[in-house]
Structure 1
């Protein structure tokens, strides 16, 4: 069966089920599917459903996004896409509430490896748009996003406190798909190889040799010493984290009063961990060094103030464990997590074409080692200096004491 025949068969099977879930007031429904867009992990189909609202007696339209795993077998295996789709489907089935600030989900079906599907509202039609950049946006975007993740974590803590059985049932169903000791050596190498880019730059600039030696030794095993260790849940602050909290996964809407309203999307990497997983990922992949240096404590305070408000409004008791100092300490212990991700992914967010190189690895046009070398050099000295300044900021914040 050709790719087009496979798609036509699949869409004819899926869309009647999606339409059935739209509600009993929908009749005479028909749909149009636009050309799909391929992303790294999924294929997105944009669907316009036209129907008659029998309650209102008028014709209406609804824009949807259908997410389906990509067809490339090697990519699915390398990125554990079965587990990623499982987690996102679990999120929408068990954690999502229709009245909360998420895209509305109309249908999910888990059929690995390629026929799983998630049908979501296309929130672009509600006025939500990507941020002006995927890196180094104005402070107002940073604060809006950080307050949203504060609400997201508060939602988890409230369920953990008040619906413990339901919360941990969701946690137990999550599948690890990113930071596990079971990952193969080539995937660990990808992270370990990039981790010391900043240190290499500092050596070239004549920076303190003892500092560079200690950081080199520690970062040579960054996958195990930073990523796996930080991702492990630590009580009492462990909560459901987004897991991929970057500007790529946040859309914004400007309200009538001029305020930015963010919305989180893409929950494939949802995990049970401490907030530093989300906070450090966002701060080191979305903020410029200048914004983070000048506003770090204001940003963390905005996060905590939002979280505390929602916890108090929900009647959560024993607030001592949710103190500002507790979250700041959690951040300092695990902040290298976001820095390591930045070491291999920041160039992509800054517009360097890492995906094109990765595609060549998938097709066999480039060896893995050549890819690692070119990716580490991507963006040149400019990116190396940004990463080096990040590392020194971490040192100044006291996040490297356990290493130095």
Structure 2
């Protein structure tokens, strides 16, 4: 009952501020919670605000999604929730523009532990979650790659045309995953990164290859993850940082074409594009589609990026060439493989949110990292060999 009372006090306070922020055109505003959803890092509430428009003299309704960070102190610390919410609030308050393809931000609250953000419910605009979490069809992949190309292009344009403002935003970003203090995440990454090697050894794969890659992957956090996220000029831009289908929404336009919207910018960072590209390609695409369509996918990304730059008046685009981006992927594409080694089992095995939220002990995470047995291990082993064929292992072998 106490927690219910605390929630009621919180929601009434937040909604009062939201309604006040929406302006003086609203008369008789009242709100209603239609449903709630538990996410890994937050509780999400769907809210309808009904009011009379003074300008139009008619009843109207505004639908929003209100995210509130988990209240448990240990969960906030383990997942760096204060920093995650800070980054998303920074994105909507300083980076996103009203005319761009993002949800409209209606409220931000950055007073730990009551971290919250309210966004327009874009379901009302026809956007819906991707119906696939893994083995995403090519149509969705190409749409996602074009949109992340435009997103990266936005960063390049601001970096060149509003350099001081751009790097002011970069300086305000907080680290959520990759620094020397995150020993828990480092341990788990290094623990699970060798899963594919263990499978290959059981299949009597080349011992020399396995020995060399095991030496690298057993220290993957430092040798791959930390090195990849470091800025590399001139390619570094503002990256989403967690570019997966779970952080995308799609809609079908009147002409039948798909359109995508990015959401959840908690892990936004200043890094090379490979951070986003390799994450999506390794975590969301099957080995088969990546093998057969890799260059088509990368070309779709670069064409969208190039068009965005040219439309914005950027003339010197050779430094963002297709070959430069491919070289970046070849050098650092193993980043996505490590992400997949850590998260793919949870996605394919449909791990529920409540299960994740109750994982406090490191042993719980270790069990999750090994889910799926040989099925997942084989996918990761085939992925690793595919990375070898792409040339992504040359610096390690």
Q: TM-score, normalised by structure 1?
A: 0.95
Please name the residue that 2:362 is paired with: 368
Aligned-partner Cα distance in 2 for 1:343–1:356: 21
1:31 aligns with 2:31: yes
Pair 1:327–1:27, CA change in 2 (3 A): same
Q: CA deviation at 1:314?
A: 0.7
Please name the residue that 1:350 is paired with: 348
Aligned-partner Cα distance in 1 for 2:25–2:239: 36
Aligned-partner Cα distance in 2 for 1:341–1:320: 30
Aligned-partner Cα distance in 1 for 2:78–2:369: 20
Aligned-partner Cα distance in 2 for 1:358–1:45: 19
Q: How do residues 360-399 of structure 1 correspond to structure 2 at under 5 angstroms? A: 360-362=358-360, 368-369=362-363, 371-372=365-366, 374-399=367-392
Please name the residue that 1:136 is paired with: 135
Please name the residue that 1:284 is paired with: 282
Give the 3-state SS of the residue equivalent to 2:204 in structure 1: coil
Q: Is the 8 A contact 2:25 2:54 kept in 1?
A: yes
Give the 3-state SS of the residue equivalent to 1:98 in structure 2: coil
Q: How do residues 182-193 of structure 1 correspond to structure 2 at under 5 angstroms? A: 182-184=181-183, 186-193=184-191
Q: Is the 8 A contact 1:87 1:174 kept in 2?
A: yes
Aligned-partner Cα distance in 2 for 1:358–1:106: 29
Q: Is the 8 A contact 1:243 1:277 kept in 2?
A: yes
Aligned-partner Cα distance in 1 for 2:253–2:311: 24
Please name the residue that 2:231 is paired with: 233
1:44 aligns with 2:37: no
Aligned-partner Cα distance in 1 for 2:353–2:203: 30
1:181 aligns with 2:174: no
Please name the residue that 2:122 is paired with: 123
Please name the residue that 1:5 is paired with: 5
* Residue in structure 1 matching 2:217, options 215, 219, 230: 219
Q: How do residues 6-155 of structure 1 correspond to structure 2 at under 5 angstroms? A: 6-112=6-112, 114-155=113-154
Q: Is the 8 A contact 1:301 1:324 kept in 2?
A: yes
Q: Is the 8 A contact 1:134 1:349 kept in 2?
A: yes
Please name the residue that 1:403 is paired with: 396
* Residue in structure 2 matching 1:208, options 202, 206, 211: 206
Please name the residue that 1:316 is paired with: 314
Aligned-partner Cα distance in 1 for 2:364–2:52: 56
Provide, for residues 51-95 of structure 1, a one-character-per-residue CA deviation record: whole Å limited to 9, x for no partner. 111111111111111111101211110011100011100000000
Provide, for residues 236-291 of structure 1, a one-character-per-residue CA deviation record: whole Å limited to 9, x for no partner. 11110000000000010011111111100000000000100000000001111111
Give the 3-state SS of the residue equivalent to 1:142 in structure 2: helix
Q: CA deviation at 1:378?
A: 0.9
1:325 aligns with 2:323: yes
Q: Is the 8 A contact 2:190 2:220 kept in 1?
A: yes
Which consecutive unaligned segments of at least 5 residues does structure 2 have?
none
Please name the residue that 1:162 is paired with: 161
Aligned-partner Cα distance in 2 for 1:295–1:358: 33
Provide, for residues 278-327 of structure 1, a one-character-per-residue CA deviation record: whole Å limited to 9, x for no partner. 00000001111111000000100110010000101111132121111111
Q: Is the 8 A contact 2:71 2:114 kept in 1?
A: no
Give the 3-state SS of the residue equivalent to 1:309 in structure 2: helix
Aligned-partner Cα distance in 2 for 1:354–1:195: 23
Q: TM-score, normalised by structure 2?
A: 0.97
